[in-house]
Amino acid sequence: MKIVLVHPAGSNWVPGQKDITPVANRMAPLGLLSMAAWLEQHGHRVWVYDCLGWDRLRPHAAIVQDILSLQPDLVGFSATTSGFLDGYDLAAAIKQQQPEVRVIFGGVHISAIGAPLLDKFPAIDYLCMGEGEVTLAELADGAQPAIIDGLIWRDNNTIVTNPARRLLPDLDQLPFPAYEKLPGFPKRYHLPLFSYIHPPGATMVTSRGCPYQCSYCDRSVFKQGYRYNSAAYIYAHLHYLRDRFGIRHVNIYDDLFTAHRKRIVDLCTLLATKPLGLQFNCAVRVGHADDDLLHMLKAAGCLQVSLGIESGDMDLMDRHKPGVQLEDVRHTVRRIQNCGLRAKGLFMMGLPGETEASIRTTSDFIMDLELDDMNMSKFTPFHGAPAWQGLQAFGTLQEDWRQMNCLNFVFVPRAIASREALDELYNQHVKRFYSSPGWRKKFRRRFWDHRWSLWHLIRHLPDFIAAKNNFEPRKDH
Question: Which CATH number fits the domain that encloses residue 428?
Answer: 3.80.30.20
In a domain, 181, yes or no: no
| CB-based contacts of 100, cutoff 8 Å, min separation 6 | none
Is residue 321 assigned to a domain? Answer: yes
Together in a domain, 142 and 217: no
The residues, ordered by sequence, that sit 6+ positions from 256 with a Cβ below 8 Å of its Cβ are 207, 210, 211, 212, 226, 283, 284, 285, 288
State the pLDDT at residue 12.
62
Dihedral of alpha carbons 223, 80, 107, 170, sign? negative
Mean pLDDT of 404-408: 92
Q: Assess if residue 300 is contained within a domain.
A: yes
CA distances from 39 to 2, 133, 193 (A): 10, 7, 33
Residue 461 has what pLDDT? 82
For residue 50, the domain's CATH number is: 3.40.50.280
The values of phi and psi at residue 278, to 5°, are: -130, 160
Same domain, 135 and 195: no
DSSP assigned state of 180: G
**127, pLDDT greater than 90:** yes
Whether residue 98 lies inside any domain: the answer is: yes
52 or 138: whose pLDDT is higher? Answer: 138
pLDDT at 71: 98
pLDDT tens-place string over residues 53-75: 987 788 999 999 999 999 999 99
pLDDT tops 90 at residue 462:
no
**Claim to verify: residue 218 and residue 343 sit in the same structural domain:** yes
Distance, in Å, from the CA atom of 207 to the CA atom of 255, rounded to the nearest integer, reads 8
What pLDDT does residue 477 have? 44
Residues 126 and 239 in one domain: no
- What mean pLDDT value characterizes the chain? 93
- Quote the number of domains for the chain: 2
Does 169 map to a domain? Answer: no
For the chain, percent of residues with pLDDT exceeding 70: 95
Q: Residue 234 burial (CB < 10 Å; 0-12/13-18/19+)?
A: buried
Please check whether residues 214 and 355 belong to one and the same domain: yes
Residue 348 contacts residue 216 (beta carbons within 8 Å) = yes
pLDDT value at residue 6? 98
Is 151 a member of any domain?
A: yes
Distances (CA, A) of 37 to 23, 30, 165: 27, 11, 20
Picking from 161, 178, 208, the residue at the C-terminal end of a domain is 161
Predicted pLDDT at 31: 95
In a domain, residue 175? The reply is no
- Domain C-terminal end among 146, 161, 176: 161
pLDDT tens per residue across span 92-108: 999 999 999 999 999 99
Q: What is the pLDDT of residue 210?
A: 83
Instruction: Please indicate, yes or no, if residue 446 is contained in any of the structural domains.
Output: yes
Residues 18 and 124 in one domain: yes
Same domain, 281 and 377: yes
**Span 19-32, mean pLDDT?**
83
pLDDT band with cut points at 50, 70 and 90 for residue 390:
confident
* Residue type for position 242: R
Coil, strand or helix: which one is 347?
strand
User: Is residue 49 domain-shared with residue 157, that is, in the same domain?
Assistant: yes
Residue 273 has pLDDT above 60, yes or no: yes
224/95 same-domain check: no
Q: How many CB atoms lie within 10 A of CB 127?
A: 25
What b/e string do you get for 346-382 counting C-beta neighbours within 10 Å, with b at 16 or more? bbbbbbbbbeeebbebbbebbbebebbbbebbbbbbb
Over residues 212-217, the mean pLDDT reads 88
pTM above 0.85, yes or no: yes
Which amino acid, 14?
Answer: V
> What's the rounded mean pLDDT across residues 396-404?
95
Task: Please tell me the distance from the alpha carbon of residue 232 to that of residue 449, in angstroms, as a whole number.
Answer: 30
Q: What is the pLDDT of residue 445?
A: 93
- Asked if 121 and 253 sit in the same domain, the reply is no
Residue 103 structural domain? 2-161
More confident residue, 463 or 241: 241
**Which spans in 255-355 are helix H?**
261-273, 291-300, 314-320, 326-338
- Which tens digits make up the pLDDT trace of 2-21? 999 999 998 766 666 666 66
DSSP 391: G
Residue 253 has pLDDT above 70, yes or no: yes
Do 205 and 155 fall into the same domain?
no
Least confident of 3-17, 22-36, 269-283, 301-315: 3-17
Confidence band, pLDDT 50/70/90 cuts, at residue 474: low
Question: 465: pLDDT confidence band, cut at 50, 70 and 90?
Answer: confident
The model's pLDDT over 319-350, given as tens digits with 9 standing for 90+, comes to: 999 999 999 999 999 999 999 999 999 999 99
Q: Are 151 and 266 members of one domain? A: no
